[in-house]
Amino acid sequence: MLSGSVISVISGKGGVGKSTVSANLAVALRRMGMNVALIDFDIYGSSIPSMMNISHGPKSMNNKIIPVESHGVKIMSMGFIVQNNDPVVWRGPMLGKVIDQFINEVIWGELDYVVIDMPPGTGDVAMDVNRLIPSSHQILVTTPHPTASHVAERAGKMAFQNNHKILGIVENMSFFQPPNLDIKYYLFGRGGSEQLATKLGTNLIAQMPIFEPKEDDFEPSIFRKGSLLFDKYTDLAKIVDESMA
């Protein structure tokens, strides 16, 4: 069974960096000394094992599952079940059983935070998770473009319909800043996230710049100390922890 405060990371559509936010928020909370679980419920687009450079699946004990650990974070993912990057072709009832298993049949131990990487949109999987975890705080991930924010608004409205609280909005791909230069290029426009925050009655709590991953980095999506995004996610983790206090 799960313990601790649940933070669901949601988005209106895929490709906006929701999983990147989920993974780096979980790692940043762990660096603060919290006991953290990260559950990858992005059933059709599971990417957490790759992001965290995990090459092995979970073990079991007494018919219970022992989660995989990386960066001190306890992790379960659909990617552990479906191998070789194969597509998921399961129907709703089977997916519902997996979701229930991840919540109720894993030896999680005592947790301070559970970060859930939700599937994008407002489909069956999202509704199943909302049913099994009726009370969570949610972070809505989008990009600066007004069209992306328009789609993200639907996910935000679903959160309200299920009596979840939106902690705030994280804007990915906010700008590109060349190394050692002060100038910022707003490649995807500006202002969409602020408008979305106003519509949903919440705040824009982080703006994450575009980054160029290093070719020799085995975990290009987990940001290292000394990088701008490391500091950005440290700040985001502090905001989340203060909001949950």
Q: Tell me the pLDDT tens digit for each residue of 104-119.
A: 889 999 999 999 998 8
- Please state the rounded mean pLDDT for residues 61-78: 92
Burial environment of residue 63 by CB neighbours within 10 A (0 to 12, 13 to 18, 19 or more): exposed
Quick one: CA torsion of 169, 240, 127, 163, rounded to 10 degrees? -90
Radius of gyration of the chain from its Cα atoms, rounded to whole angstroms: 17
- Please state the rounded mean pLDDT for residues 44-52: 85
Instruction: Decide if 171 contacts 202 (C-beta within 8 A).
Output: no
Q: Tell me the pLDDT tens digit for each residue of 128-164.
A: 777 777 678 999 999 998 888 888 888 888 887 777 8
Domains identified in the chain and CATH numbers: 5-244 (3.40.50.300)
- Please state the rounded mean pLDDT for residues 7-16: 88
Instruction: Decide if 125 contacts 95 (C-beta within 8 A).
Output: yes
* Residue 31: per-residue pLDDT: 97
- Confidence class for position 123, pLDDT limits 50, 70, 90: low
Find how far residue 210's CA is from the centre of its chain. Answer: 17
pTM of the model: 0.91
